[in-house]
């Protein structure tokens, strides 16, 4: 059993739906849970549910899009419980419409809540996690970002941006044991009502996603993992790199890319680079360049 006893976990957007399920399960595994939501009554209701079951919880109503409010929330958590160990960036909204018909204000709003909301929370907890030498952060990405979805250009862009944020924060946080991952849930939440058949809604209960979250928050959690979860099924998604080919430069280079396109996109032997720099080194290697070994005195 995953034991989170002594850990303090913040779940944003936890007044209902997936966030509520996350909060309840974290508490059931011993964590002290901070239930955040824009709606104070809903946040308190979930916190009361946790304490009624014998757990420890507190509610904080704040908008993740407001950095000052987020900073105040983290200060309150640390003042009350002395630390912050786990951050689950779950808060989000939908403003679905085809790109041609979408107002830019709706694009910005979705980016502000999903992406900047996660940035605000990560920025506020980062110094505390570094100081204590431990942190677990989970971004909520989506298949709409990983693979696209009609009518969700704003949502998809925000969700894929969170993957990029995860990649770099995981690298920068490694020395302080801050592990950063993504979960891509498929869950029948309020945002999906009326969009899916009832039979699918019944299978895609939010509670069937949350068990995957615990694997990303435990002491032995991975880092830089994208965990897809839905209907009790779990898989990892990866941003891979094909072996590629060397085309070179010159007047025929563009034609070379076109004629060798099949080899360029051949997925045989593809890899998952450890960083953008590593991907760049593969390109240099194709060009016949080997970086000199560092000199030692």
Q: Each residue of 50-71: pLDDT tens digit?
A: 999 999 999 999 999 999 999 9
pLDDT digits (tens, 9 = 90+) for 194-243: 777 888 888 889 999 999 999 999 999 999 999 999 999 999 999 999 99
Tokens coding 272 = 């998952």
For range 245-258, the mean pLDDT: 96
Strands 86-89 and 57-61: unpaired
**Per-residue three-class SS string for 29-44:** CCCEEEEEECCHHHHH
The Cα–Cα gap between 90 and 36 comes to: 10
Q: What is the pLDDT of residue 276?
A: 92
Tell me the catalytic residues: 155
How does the average pLDDT of the chain come out, rounded? 95
In this prediction, residue 297 has a pLDDT band, given cuts at 50, 70 and 90, of low
Measured CA to CA in angstroms, residue 69 lies from 72, 73, 124, 158 at distances of 5, 6, 10, 21
pLDDT at 236: 97
Q: Are 212 and 233 in contact (CB under 8 A)?
A: no
What is the reported pLDDT for 191? 60
In this predicted model, what pLDDT tens digit does every residue of 188-204 receive, in sequence order? Answer: 866 666 777 888 888 88
Predicted confidence at residue 109, as pLDDT, reads 98
């Amino acid at each position: 059993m995953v034991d989170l006893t002594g850990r303090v976990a913040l779940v944003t957007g936890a007044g209902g739906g997936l966030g509520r399920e996350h909060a309840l399960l974290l508490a059931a595994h011993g964590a002290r849970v901070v239930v955040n939501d824009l709606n104070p009554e809903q946040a308190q209701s979930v916190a009361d549910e946790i304490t009624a079951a014998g757990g420890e919880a507190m509610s904080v109503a704040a908008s993740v899009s407001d950095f000052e409010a987020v900073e105040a929330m983290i200060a309150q958590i640390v003042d009350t419980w002395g630390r912050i160990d786990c951050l689950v960036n779950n808060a989000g909204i939908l403003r679905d419409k085809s790109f041609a018909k979408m107002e830019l204000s709706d694009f910005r709003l979705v980016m502000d809540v999903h992406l900047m909301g996660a940035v605000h929370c990560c920025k506020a907890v980062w110094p505390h996690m570094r100081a204590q030498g431990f942190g677990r952060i989970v971004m909520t990405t989506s298949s709409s970002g990983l693979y696209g979805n009609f009518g969700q250009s704003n949502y998809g862009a925000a969700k894929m941006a969170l993957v990029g944020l995860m990649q770099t924060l995981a690298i920068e946080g490694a020395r302080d044991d801050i592990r950063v991952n993504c979960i891509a849930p498929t869950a029948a939440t309020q945002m999906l009502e009326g969009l899916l058949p009832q039979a699918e809604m019944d299978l895609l209960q939010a509670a069937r996603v949350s068990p995957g979250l615990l694997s990303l928050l435990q002491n032995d959690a991975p880092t830089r993992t994208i965990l897809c979860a839905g209907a009790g099924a779990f898989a990892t998604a990866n941003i891979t790199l094909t072996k590629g080919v060397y085309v070179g430069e010159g007047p025929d280079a563009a034609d070379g890319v076109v004629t060798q396109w099949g080899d360029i996109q051949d997925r045989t032997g593809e890899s998952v680079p450890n960083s953008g720099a590593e991907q760049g080194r593969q390109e240099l290697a194709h060009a016949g360049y080997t970086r000199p070994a560092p000199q030692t005195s």
